């Protein structure tokens, strides 16, 4: 079997990161990483990107909804709808 | 979102039916139930009360024009959260006068021998040490807002709302393998935009 190329490494990187590959495929990815600093860098920055995306606009699901939403805003939204239907 | 999704499951079906049929009472209930959540998201993205209020209005307009696409086997709260986040990001993008970027141009190119074209060294910082927290969130929100809509929707559901691949596929009406492929390409594009910001183009 020919060695994994960087193109293949990146193409299937999501499966590597999710750890959904069969053991022998994963071993091949590990071997590629030992020999390829470019892909080590790519893997680090790909993982960082996922955690940056998770942290951005993150809603805290346990936080209560803000109660300081202006009544006028609710009225404007309700009015815009009834105007649209008229 | 627990409280909203709980009430949503109680009578979500009749609420959705009412919205689809243009029932004014259903719309009022929908607005009162979900506007506070939408406002929370919009404030986090826009940090400005007037812009956030505009984004919330946009979210409801967008929701009403796409309610027919909402699938009965999905959570209304999950669906609306994505719609509201999208509305806030679109407002941010227009405020910052940014354009949608092409995924093809942001995913890596390779030579015939399989090596990547123009690799750059990884940024040195751990993700939580990139910029100050609020600037970091703003930077990433800006980049997500520049993804094309299909890619952005997958990132919103999978990475931000942390929905499963199966749930995301149902929400968007595509197969799980399409979700996987789109997410991988969207993350690669986002990675490139963040790299431009931190390491240089
Ligand atoms: Zn490589």
B131 dihedral zone (left: phi>0; alpha: psi -120 to 50; beta): left
DSSP-derived letter for residue B97 is T
CA–CA distance, B92 with B88 (Å, rounded to integer): 6
Name which of B24, B40, B114 is nearest A59 (Cβ-Cβ).
Answer: B40
pLDDT of B158 above 80 = yes
Q: Which range is least confidently modeled, A56-70, B15-29, B127-141, B160-174?
A: A56-70
Domain boundaries in chain A?
A: 6-83
Chain A environment of B60 (Cβ under 8 Å): 77, 80-81
Question: Per-residue pLDDT for B122 more than 90?
Answer: yes
Q: pLDDT band for position A42 (50/70/90)?
A: very high
Distance CA B76, CA B177 (A): 24
Across B60-178, the runs of DSSP E, i.e. the strands, are: none
Alpha-helical (H) ranges within A1-86 are 6-11, 13-18, 23-35, 37-55, 71-85
pLDDT band at B12 (very low <50, low <70, confident <90, very high): low
Q: Which residues in chain A (42-81) have CB-CB distances under 8 A to chain B? A: 42, 44-46, 48-59, 61-67, 69-70, 73-74, 76-78, 80-81
Q: Which residues contact B11 (CB under 8 A, 6 or more apart)?
A: none
Chain A residue numbers with beta carbons less than 8 Å from the beta carbon of B141 are: 56-57
| Euclidean distance between CA atoms B151 and B154, whole angstroms | 5
Look at residues B5, B78, B84 and name the one whose alpha carbon lies nearest to residue B38: B84
B110 beta partners = B116
**CA distances (Å), B119 to each of B69, B122, B130, B193, B199, in order?**
41, 9, 20, 14, 11
What is the pLDDT at residue B73?
82
Please give the model's pTM, rounded to 2 decimal places. 0.89
**Domains in chain B with CATH codes:** 1-97 (1.10.1740.10), 98-201 (1.10.10.10)
Q: What is the residue-wise DSSP string for B107-137?
A: S--B-TTSPBSS--PPPSS-GGGSS-HHHHH
Whether B70 contacts B144, CB under 8 Å: no
The tokens 């990001």 sit on which residue?
Answer: B89
> Directed axis angle between helix B24-46 and helix B49-66, to 10°?
140
A2-35: pLDDT as tens digits:
689 999 999 999 999 999 999 999 999 999 999 9
Q: How far is it, in rounded angstroms, from Cα A46 to Cα A79?
A: 45
- pLDDT at position B6, please? 44
- Percent of chain A clearing pLDDT 70 (strictly above): 79
This model of the complex carries an ipTM of 0.89
The pLDDT score that the predictor gives to residue B14 is 84
- Would you call A41 helix, strand, or coil by DSSP? helix
- CA gyration radius, chain A: 24
Distance CA B35, CA B53 (A): 10
């Amino acid at each position: 079997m020919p060695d994994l190329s960087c193109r293949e490494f990146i193409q299937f990187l999501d499966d590597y990161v999710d750890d959904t590959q069969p053991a022998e495929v994963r071993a091949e990815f590990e071997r590629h990483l030992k020999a390829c600093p470019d892909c080590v860098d790519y893997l680090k920055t790909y993982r960082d990107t996922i955690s940056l995306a998770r942290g951005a606009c993150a809603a805290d699901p346990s936080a209560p909804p803000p109660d300081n939403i202006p009544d006028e805003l609710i009225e404007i939204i309700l009015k815009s709808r009834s105007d649209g239907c008229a | 979102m627990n409280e909203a999704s709980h009430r949503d499951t109680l009578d979500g079906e009749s609420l959705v039916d009412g919205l689809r049929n243009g029932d004014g009472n259903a719309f009022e209930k929908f607005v009162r139930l979900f506007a506070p959540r939408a406002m929370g998201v919009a404030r986090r993205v826009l940090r400005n009360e007037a812009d956030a209020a505009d984004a919330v209005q946009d979210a409801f307009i967008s929701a009403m024009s796409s309610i027919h696409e909402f699938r009965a086997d999905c959570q209304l709260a999950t669906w609306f959260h994505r719609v509201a986040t999208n509305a806030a990001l679109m407002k941010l993008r227009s405020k910052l006068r940014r354009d949608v970027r092409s995924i093809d141009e942001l995913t890596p190119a390779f030579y015939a021998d399989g090596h990547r074209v123009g690799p750059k060294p990884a940024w040195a910082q751990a993700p939580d040490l990139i910029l100050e927290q609020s600037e970091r969130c703003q930077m990433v929100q800006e980049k997500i807002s520049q993804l094309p809509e299909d890619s952005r929707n997958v990132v919103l559901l999978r990475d931000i709302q942390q929905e499963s691949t199966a749930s995301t596929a149902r929400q968007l009406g595509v197969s799980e393998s399409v979700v996987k492929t789109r997410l991988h390409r969207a993350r690669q594009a986002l990675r490139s935009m963040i790299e431009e910001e931190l390491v240089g183009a």
